């Protein structure tokens, strides 16, 4: 495993990080989830990312139990706040009330006294940004949170937060967690240039495009049984935009590139995201330990300019680049 700084902060994280979004507490049994976490630890992963909303808070509980007994100082545990975790009008968003109540719930479920990174899971259009940032800063001063980040915020939203933090003398955002892959590059035109200037690192999710970049989905063929595309717990909705024959044909044309480098398709996809110097870590999830072991082999892989150009030539106009595709809900659900 190799390690990178989280943005311009002093915190080092494993460049392959483990995320438990769709698996823990939802798709797989807890014994399997714990086996995946053990595999991640065995492979040198020290960075674990979750969120209070995943699997209705169960994902944090499973991760907390799976990491129990590990040396806390040797781990970086990240979680998030924003989405509804209860039925009430204040059980969501980025108000001071919800942030404080959510962190206490997350700490209890994760079985830890603090989280290394606390992230605003979306931008909250209904709460003053000053209120949100001051609440995060207070948690940092209390020692319950070490660093603050955001997830799926647009460049102008991040820029506003940085300006307010500087004016108010508050802790600055050090990370952004966007979707990013060979197929989904919406952060490249605006978020990445801003982040490079301001010392913000990307922790990217879905580097294999919900599994599409593994090559297991074939054009003109039925969806593999038991795959994410057939999952009725959320995975199918995310992946359906990629399931057209033109794109799937292009993905199959990446296979000779991966084979020539001695990489699996998944390893090539993950390694591709890590070529971006603004990326601090690529998040991988798994339902089986062998998936973890395969994915971590992307750590330290270097792709030369010719390989990157060949990938671009294959994918062509199937790549999504529009920054406007990053959008937080205007009103709370």
Catalytic residue among 18, 54, 118, 242, which? 54
Q: End-to-end distance of the chain based on CA atoms, in angstroms?
A: 40
Element (H, E) at 32: helix 30-42
Which residues partner with 4 through β-bridges? 13
Its sign, for the CA torsion 180, 184, 189, 190, is: negative
Q: Give the span between the Cα atoms of 101 and 327, in whole angstroms.
A: 25
In this prediction the pTM is 0.92
Q: Which has the higher per-residue pLDDT, 55 or 105?
A: 105
Tell whether 107 is covered by a domain: yes
Rounded distance between C-alpha atoms, residue 136 and residue 202, angstroms = 19
Are the CB atoms for 269 and 208 separated by under 8 Å?
Answer: yes
Out of 24-38, 267-281, 285-299, give the one with best mean pLDDT: 267-281
Q: Smallest Cα–Cα separation from 108: which of 85, 90, 126?
A: 85
pLDDT at 287: 84
Q: Is residue 284 part of a domain?
A: yes
pLDDT tens for each residue of 180-235: 999 999 999 999 999 999 999 999 999 999 899 998 888 876 766 655 544 565 55
What's 208's DSSP letter?
T
CATH number, domain of 147, equals: 3.20.20.100
Question: Which DSSP string corresponds to 280-304?
Answer: EEEEE--SSHHHHHHHGGGTT----
pLDDT digits (tens, 9 = 90+) for 134-153: 999 999 999 999 999 999 99
Whether 7 is covered by a domain: the verdict is yes
| pLDDT score, position 233 | 59
Give me the domain span that covers residue 29. Answer: 3-325
Alpha-carbon distance 187 to 194, whole Å? Answer: 10
Confidence of residue 286 (pLDDT cuts 50, 70, 90): confident
* 251 has a pLDDT exceeding 70: yes
How far lies 269's CA from each of 75, 171, 273, in Å?
25, 34, 7
For 193-199, the CB contacts below 8 A with 24+ separation are 193/155, 194/155, 194/158, 194/159, 195/7, 195/158, 195/278, 196/277, 196/278, 198/158, 198/162, 198/172, 199/7, 199/8, 199/9, 199/172, 199/174
284: pLDDT strictly greater than 90: yes
The predicted-structure confidence for 64-119, as pLDDT tens digits, reads as follows 999 999 999 999 999 999 999 999 999 999 999 999 999 999 999 999 999 999 99
Is 283 a member of any domain?
A: yes
Which pLDDT value is given to residue 42?
A: 96
Q: What is the pLDDT of residue 238?
A: 65
Q: What are the structure tokens assigned to 249, written together?
A: 């044909």
Q: What is the pLDDT of residue 159?
A: 98
Return the pLDDT at 237.
62
Judge whether 188 lies within some domain.
yes
d(CA 238, CA 217): 14
Nearest Cα residue to 260 out of 179, 314, 216: 314
CA 120, chain centre distance (Å): 12
pLDDT exceeds cutoff 90 at 161: yes
Domain annotation covers residue 333: no
The predicted pLDDT at position 217 comes to 84
pLDDT score for 230:
46
Across the chain, what does the average pLDDT equal? Answer: 92
How far apart CA 174 and CA 36 sit, in angstroms, is 28
Other CB atoms within a 10 A radius of the CB of residue 37 amount to: 24
Does residue 177 contact residue 205 with C-beta atoms inside 8 Å? Answer: yes
Higher pLDDT, 240 or 278: 278
Does 176 score more than 90 pLDDT?
yes
The reported pLDDT for the residue numbered 224 is 65
Q: Tokens 């952004």 sit at which residue?
A: 176
**What is the predicted pLDDT for the residue at 156?**
97
> In the annotation, is 82 catalytic?
no
Measured CA to CA, the distance from residue 262 to residue 282 in angstroms comes to 20
Domain count, the chain: 1
**Alpha-carbon dihedral angle through residues 257, 44, 60, 35, given to the nearest 10 degrees:** 80
Q: Is residue 135 part of a domain?
A: yes
Q: What percent of the chain has pLDDT over 90?
A: 81
- DSSP H or E segment with residue 5: strand 3-5
Over residues 281-298, the mean pLDDT reads 93
């Amino acid at each position: 495993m190799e390690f990178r700084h989280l943005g311009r902060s002093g915190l080092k994280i494993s460049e392959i990080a483990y995320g438990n979004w769709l698996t823990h507490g939802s798709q797989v049994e807890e014994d399997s989830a714990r086996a995946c976490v053990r595999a991640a630890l065995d492979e040198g992963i020290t960075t674990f990312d979750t969120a209070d909303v995943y699997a209705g808070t169960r994902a944090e509980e499973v991760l907390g139990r799976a990491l129990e007994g590990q040396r806390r100082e040797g781990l970086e545990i990240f979680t998030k706040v924003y989405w509804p975790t209860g039925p009430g009008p204040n059980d969501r968003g980025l108000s001071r009330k919800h942030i404080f109540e959510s962190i206490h719930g997350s700490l209890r479920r994760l079985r830890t006294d603090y989280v290394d990174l606390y992230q605003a899971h979306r931008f909250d259009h209904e709460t003053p940004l000053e209120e949100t940032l001051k609440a995060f800063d207070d948690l940092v001063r209390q020692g319950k949170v070490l660093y603050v980040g955001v997830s799926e915020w647009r460049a102008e939203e991040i820029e506003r937060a940085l300006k307010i933090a500087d004016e108010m003398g508050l802790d600055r955002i050090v990370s952004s967690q966007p979707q990013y892959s060979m197929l989904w590059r919406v952060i490249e035109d605006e978020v990445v240039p801003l982040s490079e200037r301001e010392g913000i690192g990307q922790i990217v999710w879905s580097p294999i495009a919900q599994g599409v970049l593994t090559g297991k989905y074939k054009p003109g063929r039925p969806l593999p049984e038991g795959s994410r595309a057939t999952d009725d717990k959320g995975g199918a909705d995310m992946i359906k935009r990629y399931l057209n024959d033109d794109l799937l044909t292009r993905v199959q044309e990446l296979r000779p590139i991966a084979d020539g480098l001695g990489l699996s398709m998944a390893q090539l996809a993950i390694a591709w995201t890590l070529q971006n110097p603004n990326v601090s870590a690529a998040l991988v999830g798994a339902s089986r330990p062998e998936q973890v072991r395969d994915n971590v082999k992307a750590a330290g892989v270097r792709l030369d300019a010719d390989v990157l150009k060949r990938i671009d030539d294959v994918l062509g106009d199937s790549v999504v680049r529009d920054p406007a595709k990053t959008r937080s809900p205007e009103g709370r659900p």
